[in-house]
Structure 1
């Protein structure tokens, strides 16, 4: 059950994420067409993007003003006051003397899975006494969905996302031994890990309200069990089907909501913290509609649509009303986690029937807002974002469930998506052509299918081949793999999920590297990370780089899980990294003599493949636009439902 366990704590507060945005535009990677103004922030409201909204960001991720709001004990007792347990009110911090960690995209052409790296999570008392600490396993966000109804123009981003992970190498402070909650948590958890979930929303692209580059976070921590995935909870899910926007610009609230059915305690727990609509960027709830959870007696397969779907009362069994509270207190205090007692008949029905979220409208009709998947199937990859070097191998672990139970001996199919077309230079894109992805198709060999074990667990093997600059001016290539149950059509409520791989270019290390061997890479770093040139060293100048060889050698030598690792985007091939280190040991300055370089592979797929690549291309474009709050529905929605 992971963070859903009856034993869990809830914290809330802010996070600061000063991501660098020069590298959000793939065309900015082209050294030949880069301009100095791409390092200047875009003026708010201007159509001229320049370096987007934060070109001098350092990619830091920092918890700010985060405190424990409440704890739940195994017996169901809730403590939300320090007099019940002094852990309530404790602070979430990072290690002393350095930032908490980093937030980075996988690639400029895959920005929908931004990851947290190198985060040290510490829970301390007001006197800075350690209660526990652990290392957050790197994790991408998932489940991007609409959250804000109003106030969107203030912060500029209506979507929220979820990071789920584990804290590893957990160390407990002495004071933890006198907290009843922490004693219970420590006794329950396994493998020296803790499960953690971070629901984020209300991020500020705009310089308003003193919250630029800040967002809100609702955190939940619980025990981790041996059978649990690391990067998502073993649970059941609701999927939103009502589109409150338009077909062109949809707005689906309650898009993805995790829940568990607890047979031992005859209860249901649901995480509305990841999906509940809010009226502003700090988590204020203003909606007053009547919402209910129920169990459908028959199978439902409705997909996302602007039309309303109604259920007759005899077609479902009511579990209970969702008793949320208006204002900014409820979400921030409880994390949106709600528990419902479930009677024996309803528990029996829930074992093999879909949970539904209903809205009771003014006419007394029950509108279907969200439903569980058809037949309760749930398949998800754990480590679904990977960085690979040529000639390396990797395994992606997948888990299959049906109505929350492991689905044994299940066949899974995996397919590489089609190559996407190049975007040519045009009036809308005057900088440079944008290369396609998923090409060459033989860049990664993979298992096209697998069969799960008795616990519903399986793995897909990947073998990286040698590729040579298929995207010309962007290192490596992005590959997407779709997976699903064999013989099943995608559920119309949520479609298919994907595995994202960045395969780095093959780059043999020269015996005696010259500046010309690393020049292209170093100039690109200087262009894309102006914070380095402004405050540390001009990476485009070989003499300046040589003068700072010691500090640069230190940065390029760090483990990838270290916050000081360079480059921060973690997209540099091992061959190029070793070449840079070798040059720093013996800087050979440019001579002007030409160097022999591997010619790039063609970055655009053959014409015969382009037609089938259009859906993939469009989906990626929408993901990038959604993350950057471009071309999505920014209209206020004071009332989600029509009645």
Structure 2
């Protein structure tokens, strides 16, 4: 994605993320131990945390275009220069807003945007352009706030990178020279977009509850490029900051354009901010440079800083950010140096970019704040967050680059992370036993060794195999796959592909309530906003009464904003079973199956002849103790179904 190329625009403002927090707590998925107070707001594990009635809504708030960057290297910031400057960036009109949801309670660092539309309109509401943002998940999560998030509760920031498709250009777009140039430059009527959210508020008392700051950049898209990350070179922070318990400037994309003699670095995702709205109080003298000698160091508590002599680098220029506390919001944190000397551009062909500051303890030396990876290597997966059903296969696309150019014949190794342990009930885990991830290890099949083609691209096919409730009361399993090249910089690798593999389940053509009750009760527990304001998902009579609207919601496609459930965590077979019930609601109990027949009955999620695991048996007994029986069987039955 080419959001760093010209022409590009920068917008800033707020985003609304009305996430539900009941479903953030893994223990809340256990129907047998769920209590009503888990749906109440609070600060501890025995309630619904800080926003239990969230509806997963995402939207743009108070966003506007702040700056344009043109192909000649100039910038524009006044509406007198172009009509689009100062105009509102908003979400969809005439339909529900987009959604922001996690992959899973065990994978909350990959929050994804679904069904988000972006529009830019003038003050009269006339459309300049609009388009749909492809589903994309958090990447490059890093420390942002120097106040540690005291005001808002969340000091970290992240990045969403994607493409805008189905672009429609309004009539007034013809009045914008910038938009005409952007439209002529981009390909496939698609645009590249990068958004950096930070400063999110958990605090109910400030007036910014459920709001955060967002910085966005939109530029041209070029065919054949990845969709969820920029095919750019990258800076990595290596200066350890005790107050941040790590590094600022942790990851920053940059682009070298030899024809334009230009270097552009995006600090919009990494520049440290003083507060939740992006005020800059940082005071260091920061300079970009090209190192003349290889840099391999990485920060730690023991070695927090690495130094370099000015004889060992060629300076590009200083970051002019200190004169304006609002610099980040105005510029998006993207710094461009134009008309660089030929020698500097040539040096960048095969030497590392570094970010340095004059040392206060070693006169004449410079501390290295961030550096490029060894040999300028970048290897990243594109579709790195996946949802799989049993028997489903997906090709994961990998791209390899060296010094910003596609790198052919590069081996990529992918390895499943080892299983993580279960956590028994105890003082630090008071509600329910929690179950680990990455097992059974045969849940996924894939070739762990591939090599990039002449375009620097490689593919690994992942296939989901049958798994039978390894986490007992949470559908499916989370698998994390490490990947790297043989020469990946050990300081910054590996990265991960993360998969939610759903449980094996056979669709039931004519289900009764017992077949879907555990699923619907769990949704009622986890999404109280539905049961309080729409329909009680745990009440079959109420569901039958509202079946038409529920059939509509459950039958929507994954990329439809009306899709139900918003967490996309049901397999096709389970969702179809729910739809089958809604089309013919049967509330009567499931007929009792004779013991001898039950021995050979194929049950879900346990396959015929598969013994119950200890954890499944414990869960069954807990449900019986609470409800008097397990759905579909009496309290004396030995088998169970429909976890």
Residue 94 of structure 1 corresponds to: 91
Distance in 2 (CA, whole Å) between partners of 1:111 and 1:288 is: 34
Distance in 2 (CA, whole Å) between partners of 1:550 and 1:352 is: 62
Residue 224 of structure 1 corresponds to: 221
Return closer, same or farther for 1:410/1:416 CA change in 2, 3 Å cut-off: same
Distance in 1 (CA, whole Å) between partners of 2:580 and 2:84 is: 50
| From 149, 152, 156, the counterpart of 1:159 | 156
Residue 15 of structure 2 corresponds to: 15
Q: TM (normalized to structure 1)?
A: 0.91
Q: Tell me the SS of whatever aligns to 1:152.
A: coil
Residue 495 of structure 1 corresponds to: 493
Displacement after TM superposition at 1:48 (Å): 5.0
Return closer, same or farther for 1:368/1:437 CA change in 2, 3 Å cut-off: same
Residue 143 of structure 1 corresponds to: 140
Counterparts of 1:35-184 in structure 2, within 5 Å, are: 35-43=35-43, 47-150=44-147, 152-184=149-181
Return closer, same or farther for 1:304/1:602 CA change in 2, 3 Å cut-off: farther
CA contact 1:162–1:200 (8 Å) conserved in 2: yes
Residue 385 of structure 1 corresponds to: 385
Residue 371 of structure 1 corresponds to: 371
Counterparts of 1:599-638 in structure 2, within 5 Å, are: 602=613
List alignment gaps of at least 5 residues for structure 1.
606-643
Confirm whether residue 568 of structure 1 aligns to residue 574 of structure 2.
no
Confirm whether residue 29 of structure 1 aligns to residue 29 of structure 2.
yes
Confirm whether residue 329 of structure 1 aligns to residue 323 of structure 2.
no
Distance in 1 (CA, whole Å) between partners of 2:614 and 2:9 is: 49
CA contact 1:240–1:493 (8 Å) conserved in 2: no
Q: Tell me the SS of whatever aligns to 1:171.
A: strand
Residue 251 of structure 1 corresponds to: 246
Q: Of the two structures, which has the highest relative contact order with CA contacts closer than 8 Å and spacing of 6 or more?
A: 1
Residue 399 of structure 2 corresponds to: 399
Displacement after TM superposition at 1:393 (Å): 0.9
- Deviations along 1:131-159, one digit per CA (max 9) or x if unpaired, are 11111100001111011012721101111
Residue 506 of structure 2 corresponds to: 508
Q: Tell me the SS of whatever aligns to 2:3.
A: helix
After superposition, the CA RMSD in angstroms is 1.7
Q: Tell me the SS of whatever aligns to 1:84.
A: coil
Distance in 2 (CA, whole Å) between partners of 1:170 and 1:48 is: 44
Return closer, same or farther for 1:602/1:354 CA change in 2, 3 Å cut-off: farther
- Deviations along 1:509-540, one digit per CA (max 9) or x if unpaired, are 12310101100100000000000011001101
Structure having the higher Rg: 2
Residue 515 of structure 2 corresponds to: 517
Distance in 1 (CA, whole Å) between partners of 2:402 and 2:308 is: 24
Distance in 1 (CA, whole Å) between partners of 2:299 and 2:516 is: 49
Residue 279 of structure 2 corresponds to: 284
Displacement after TM superposition at 1:362 (Å): 3.1
Distance in 2 (CA, whole Å) between partners of 1:101 and 1:145 is: 24
| From 533, 537, 540, the counterpart of 2:538 | 540
List alignment gaps of at least 5 residues for structure 2.
594-600, 607-611, 617-643
Q: Tell me the SS of whatever aligns to 1:2.
A: coil
CA contact 1:419–1:438 (8 Å) conserved in 2: yes
- Deviations along 1:217-246, one digit per CA (max 9) or x if unpaired, are 000000000132111111001101112127
- Deviations along 1:27-75, one digit per CA (max 9) or x if unpaired, are 11000011111101114xxx45511111100000010001001111112
Q: Tell me the SS of whatever aligns to 1:122.
A: strand
Return closer, same or farther for 1:351/1:98 CA change in 2, 3 Å cut-off: same
Distance in 2 (CA, whole Å) between partners of 1:242 and 1:303 is: 8
Displacement after TM superposition at 1:297 (Å): 1.0
Q: Tell me the SS of whatever aligns to 2:151.
A: helix
Distance in 1 (CA, whole Å) between partners of 2:613 and 2:491 is: 37
Displacement after TM superposition at 1:287 (Å): 1.3
Displacement after TM superposition at 1:121 (Å): 1.1
Distance in 2 (CA, whole Å) between partners of 1:584 and 1:106 is: 26
Moved more, 117-126 or 327-336: 327-336
Q: Tell me the SS of whatever aligns to 1:4.
A: coil
Distance in 1 (CA, whole Å) between partners of 2:117 and 2:170 is: 15
Distance in 2 (CA, whole Å) between partners of 1:604 and 1:220 is: 48
Distance in 2 (CA, whole Å) between partners of 1:602 and 1:491 is: 41
Return closer, same or farther for 1:412/1:48 CA change in 2, 3 Å cut-off: closer
Distance in 1 (CA, whole Å) between partners of 2:148 and 2:498 is: 33
CA contact 2:5–2:220 (8 Å) conserved in 1: yes
Displacement after TM superposition at 1:87 (Å): 0.5
Residue 464 of structure 1 corresponds to: 464
Q: Tell me the SS of whatever aligns to 2:532.
A: helix
Distance in 2 (CA, whole Å) between partners of 1:545 and 1:297 is: 69
Displacement after TM superposition at 1:602 (Å): 4.3
CA contact 2:195–2:215 (8 Å) conserved in 1: yes
Distance in 1 (CA, whole Å) between partners of 2:26 and 2:481 is: 21
Distance in 1 (CA, whole Å) between partners of 2:242 and 2:615 is: 35
| From 517, 524, 527, the counterpart of 2:525 | 527
Distance in 1 (CA, whole Å) between partners of 2:366 and 2:613 is: 55
Counterparts of 1:448-463 in structure 2, within 5 Å, are: 448-463=448-463
CA contact 1:355–1:372 (8 Å) conserved in 2: yes
Q: Tell me the SS of whatever aligns to 1:532.
A: helix
Counterparts of 1:167-246 in structure 2, within 5 Å, are: 167-245=164-242
CA contact 2:472–2:615 (8 Å) conserved in 1: no
Residue 340 of structure 1 corresponds to: 337
Return closer, same or farther for 1:9/1:510 CA change in 2, 3 Å cut-off: same
Distance in 1 (CA, whole Å) between partners of 2:410 and 2:389 is: 31
CA contact 1:542–1:589 (8 Å) conserved in 2: yes
Q: TM (normalized to structure 2)?
A: 0.91
Displacement after TM superposition at 1:309 (Å): 1.3
Return closer, same or farther for 1:514/1:336 CA change in 2, 3 Å cut-off: same
Distance in 2 (CA, whole Å) between partners of 1:53 and 1:594 is: 43
Moved more, 148-157 or 521-530: 148-157
Distance in 1 (CA, whole Å) between partners of 2:7 and 2:226 is: 18
